[in-house]
């Protein structure tokens, strides 16, 4: 399969970036998208050119570090998967593929397709944890939890913090990420102790770091690889109003 790749190249956050065109004529539909980029980089290195910098780690859809904007979609045009799980069988011979980093003021470009997502770490450090001593692990059934709360907490907890919600939002809002981290703890008894302080601290840190307001378009939910629902945003707002 032959592909034309339009890849964003940028030395660092201060440099002016641009799209550079590359041609690949030996792409297998059995390749993963990152394997295709590996193949491109081998060719670039062999011809004494600078390889394309992109982020990855587990390549199993767990860590969230592989976020790339592909043909106008975070993680690519296939819903509910990360970039590392995107197969080249979803592309056709002769396609032109546009590959960019996340576009957000709070996610400055480090190099090429890699952005600095440490802003998420700062939000998490502001309150996304339980600091009270809960003792040793209790017997599983000793603290009754409504099944609905359990299910909703688990659904929120699967957020991997990849930043696709920020990249998808026209306002570069981090509300879906923040609401998932707040909701997963607020629904459980252990998380209720610090609930008010947590929601205030995390929302304030999100605003301080320059993320935009929720656009109410639902783009974040549509592009989230773990299918986090925007109902968690409503839950976060309820928590926030109760905190004052």
- Domain of 83, CATH number, reads 3.10.20.30
Same domain, 94 and 129: no
The predicted structure's pLDDT at residue 134:
64
**Cβ count near 63 (within 10 Å):** 16
Query: What torsion, rounded to 10 degrees, do the Cα atoms 176, 230, 160, 219 define?
Result: -80
Same domain for 83 and 137, yes or no, is no
Q: Are residues 104 and 178 in the same domain?
A: no
The per-residue pLDDT for 131 is: 86
Average pLDDT over residues 129-140: 76
Q: What is the pTM of this model?
A: 0.93
* Residue keyed to tokens 């999100």: 206
The answer to whether 2 touches 25, Cβ cutoff 8 Å, is: yes
Q: Long-range contacts of range 76-81, CB-CB < 8 Å, 24 or more positions apart?
A: 76/33, 79/222, 79/223, 80/224, 80/225, 80/226, 80/227, 81/225
Residue 213: which pLDDT band, with cuts at 50, 70 and 90?
A: very high
Mean pLDDT taken over the chain:
95
Q: Tell me what the mean pLDDT of segment 128-155 comes to.
A: 83
Q: How confident is the model at residue 64 (pLDDT cuts 50, 70, 90)?
A: very high
Supply the Cα-derived Rg of the chain in whole angstroms: 20
Give yes or no for residue 193 having a pLDDT over 70.
yes
Q: Domain of 205: which CATH number?
A: 1.10.1060.10
Instruction: Based on the fold, state whether residues 149 and 216 are members of the same structural domain.
Output: yes
* Same-domain check for residues 129 and 237: yes
To the nearest 5 percent, what fractions of the chain are helix, strand and coil?
40, 15, 50
Higher pLDDT, 10 or 145: 10
pLDDT band at 142 (very low <50, low <70, confident <90, very high): confident
Residue 141 scores a pLDDT above 80? no
Considering the domain architecture, whether residues 101 and 129 belong to the same structural domain is answered as no
Please say which residue of 65, 94, 110 terminates a domain: 110
Whether residues 50 and 160 fall in one domain: no
Say whether pLDDT at 139 is over 80.
Answer: no
Backbone angle region of 79, left / alpha / beta, with phi > 0 → left and psi within -120 to 50 → alpha:
beta
Domain range for residue 185?
Answer: 117-242
Weakest mean pLDDT among 48-52, 73-77, 184-188 = 184-188
Q: Are both 166 and 95 inside the same structural domain? A: no
Number of domains in the chain: 2
In the beta sheet, which residues pair with residue 100? Answer: 69
- The verdict on 125 and 180 lying in the same domain is yes
Give the pLDDT band of residue 132 (cuts 50, 70, 90): confident
**What span, in angstroms and rounded, lies between the C-alpha atoms of 157 and 182?**
9
> Looking at the structure, do residues 32 and 60 belong to the same domain, yes or no?
yes
- Token reading at 82: 């990360």
Q: How many CA atoms lie within 13 A of 210 on its CB side?
A: 8
208 and 152 share one domain:
yes
Mean pLDDT of 126-150: 82
Of 110, 137, 154, the residue at which a domain comes to its end is 110
Pick from 50-54, 149-153, 163-167: least confident: 149-153
pLDDT at 224 over 90: yes
Least confident of 49-53, 133-137, 155-159, 179-183: 133-137
Q: Which of 110, 137, 160 is the last residue of a domain?
A: 110
Q: Which two tokens stand for residue 207?
A: 């605003």
Q: Rounded to whole angstroms, what are the CA distances from 75 to 60, 104, 165?
A: 13, 15, 11
Same domain, yes or no: 80 and 157:
no
Rounded mean pLDDT, 13-21: 96
Strand intervals (E) in 44-134: 69-70, 73-74, 96-100, 109-111, 114-115
Res. 160: pLDDT tops 90: yes
pLDDT at residue 133, as a whole number: 74
Query: Taking a C-beta distance cutoff of 8 angstroms, is the pair 148, 206 a contact?
Result: no
């Amino acid at each position: 399969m032959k592909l034309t790749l339009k890849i964003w190249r940028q030395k660092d956050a201060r440099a002016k970036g641009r799209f550079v065109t590359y041609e690949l004529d030996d792409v297998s539909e059995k390749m993963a998208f990152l394997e295709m980029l590996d193949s491109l980089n081998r060719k670039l290195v062999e011809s004494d050119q600078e390889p394309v910098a992109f982020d990855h780690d587990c390549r199993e859809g767990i860590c969230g570090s592989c976020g790339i904007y592909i043909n106008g979609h975070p993680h690519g045009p296939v819903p509910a998967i990360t970039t590392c799980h995107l197969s080249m069988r979803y592309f056709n011979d002769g396609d032109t593929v546009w590959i960019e980093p996340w576009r957000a003021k709070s996610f400055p470009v480090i190099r090429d397709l890699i952005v600095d997502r440490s802003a998420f770490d700062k939000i998490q450090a502001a309150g996304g944890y339980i600091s009270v001593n809960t003792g040793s692990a209790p017997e599983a059934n000793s603290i009754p939890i409504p099944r609905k709360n359990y299910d909703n907490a688990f659904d929120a907890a699967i957020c991997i913090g990849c930043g696709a919600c920020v990249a998808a939002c026209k306002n570069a809002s981090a509300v879906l990420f923040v609401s998932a981290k707040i909701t997963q703890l607020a629904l459980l008894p252990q998380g209720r102790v610090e609930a008010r302080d947590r929601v205030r601290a995390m929302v304030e840190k999100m605003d301080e770091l320059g993320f935009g307001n929720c656009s109410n378009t639902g783009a974040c939910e549509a592009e989230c690889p773990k299918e986090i629902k925007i109902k968690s945003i409503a839950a976060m707002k309820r928590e926030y109003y109760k905190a004052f």
